[in-house]
Amino acid sequence: MIDLFWPLVLLAGIVAILLVLAFRFPQGKGDWPWDGKTTAYAIFSAVTFLAILLLAYLATRDWLWPAASESLALLVLVLFALMLVGSFFAPEGFSQR
């Protein structure tokens, strides 16, 4: 098992400092295009993505995965099935307003 405690504590500390700065200076800098709330949401989103990625790795690191060709064939099959189901619910396509 990889010891991830201290790297995660360091990451949490960096994120906490960035979030405090984002809420302390809600207008942001002049050359930064986002305000504090948007910056905080972006940081939360990135941390959530990294946490899900880490948990997915930890949960599946001992699995024996099929070959890449089998995985891609299954992915294509699932995507075509989703397109077929989507065509029943939106036969004329989605309007982009």
DSSP states along 60-82? HTT--PPPHHHHHHHHHHHHHHH
Tally of domains in the chain? 1
pLDDT at 76: 93
Per-residue confidence band for 2, with pLDDT thresholds at 50, 70 and 90:
low
Q: Is residue 41 part of a domain?
A: yes
Specify if 57 maps to a domain.
yes
Decide which of 23 and 55 is more confident. 55
Q: What is the rounded average pLDDT of the residues 20-25?
A: 74
Q: Helices 5-24 and 36-60: crossing angle, nearest 10°?
A: 160
Question: What is the rounded CA–CA span in Å between residue 83 and residue 93?
Answer: 11
Domain that holds residue 26: 5-64
In a domain, residue 44? The reply is: yes
Alpha-carbon gap, residue 24 to 21, rounded angstroms: 5
72-76: which pairs have CB atoms within 8 A and are 24 or more residues apart? none
Query: Contact at 8 Å (CB) between 40 and 16?
Result: no
Which two tokens mark 90? 């939106």
